[in-house]
Amino acid sequence: MLNNLLFPVLCLHCQTVPQKSSHLFCEGCTPYFELRDPSDRFPLKELNIQVASALEYIGPVKSLVKKLKTGQLPHLAKTAASFLAAQFYRLGWEVDCIVPVCRPWLRALVHGIDHSHAIADNLGKTLSTPVYPVLRRRGGEYPQGRLNPEQRVSFSKNSFTLRKGEKIADKRVLLIDDVITTGTTLQHAINTLFEGFPAQIYALTLCR
Ligand SMILES: [Zn+2]
């Protein structure tokens, strides 16, 4: 209590003081964390795979992702995983393993975290499902936001390779990423996963 008076815990988005110090977000920001309609999917071009998402990528949810990405609050990976787990149960999917869409190594190094991997690890614990980090990012040292759409496509075309080791053949794979915007990254990740002959691929992102 005294600690909270000296160092009040502020809402991660708007910096006001939540009613309960154990809350990450204030009462005004919490409603933004409502789970999306699980039947609302993002269709990927030329792939017979639809991407489900847990949350809408707005305001406080964006703040959560940003804090996660930049490694400021690594324990938020657990929070993010709990939203994914909740949506996963609503989807009724059955999977054998979880594969994170890994970060480009340089970005993970700079921020001290591969948040996608960290989220997947936490989700794996919750779902009692093994995590296979089989996707390796080839390039991708540059933030994609700085590229135009044409560059983005050519840039990410060959940006994944399949790591040898864990086998995904004949397995039902749950691919995990933080945000889906154009779907390009996930598309390339899925194309690479196909090289391992999985039985089925499901894709779930934290936000859309
Ligand atoms: Zn707030």
Give the pLDDT of residue 167.
Answer: 87
Which residues are CB-contacts of 121 (< 8 A; sequence separation ≥ 6)?
77, 81, 131
How does residue 5 score in pLDDT terms, banded at 50, 70 and 90? low
What is the 18 CA–ligand 1 centroid distance (Å)? 7
Cα–Cα distance measured from residue 91 to residue 154, given in angstroms and rounded to the nearest whole number: 33
What is the 56 CA–ligand 1 centroid distance (Å)? 16
Give the pLDDT of residue 181.
Answer: 92
Give the pLDDT of residue 145.
Answer: 56
Residue 132 pLDDT more than 60?
Answer: yes
Residue 55, number of CB atoms within 10 A of its CB: 24
> Over pLDDT 90: what percentage of the chain?
63
How does residue 171 score in pLDDT terms, banded at 50, 70 and 90? very high
Give the pLDDT of residue 106.
Answer: 76
Residue 165 pLDDT more than 90?
Answer: no
Amino acid letter, 77: A
What is the 66 CA–ligand 1 centroid distance (Å)? 15
Let me know: does 101 contact 185? Beta carbons within 8 Å.
Answer: yes
User: Would you list the domain boundaries of the chain?
Assistant: 1-31, 34-142+157-207
Of 119, 150, 135, which is closest to residue 190 (Cα–Cα)?
Answer: 135
Residue 31 pLDDT more than 90?
Answer: yes
Architecture category of domain 34-142+157-207 in CATH: 3-Layer(aba) Sandwich (3.40)
Q: Calculate mean pLDDT across residues 10-19.
A: 93
Say how many residues make up the chain: 208
Let me know: does 80 contact 113? Beta carbons within 8 Å.
Answer: no
- The 10s digit of each residue's pLDDT in 80-103 is 999 999 999 999 999 999 999 988
What is the 109 CA–ligand 1 centroid distance (Å)? 30
What is the 1 CA–ligand 1 centroid distance (Å)? 21
Let me know: does 181 contact 54? Beta carbons within 8 Å.
Answer: no
What is the 118 CA–ligand 1 centroid distance (Å)? 25
160-162/135-137 β-pairing: antiparallel
What is the 57 CA–ligand 1 centroid distance (Å)? 15
Between 169 and 21, the higher pLDDT residue: 169
Exposure b/e, 91-123, CB count within 10 A at least 16 = b: beeebbbbbbbbbbeebbeebebbbbbbbbbbb
What is the 19 CA–ligand 1 centroid distance (Å)? 11
What is the 27 CA–ligand 1 centroid distance (Å)? 7
Give the pLDDT of residue 42.
Answer: 95
Q: What residues are paired with 43 via a beta bridge?
A: 50
What is the 24 CA–ligand 1 centroid distance (Å)? 9
- What residue has token string 């004949």? 170
Cα–Cα distance measured from residue 128 to residue 146, given in angstroms and rounded to the nearest whole number: 38
- The 10s digit of each residue's pLDDT in 103-123 is 887 777 788 788 999 999 999
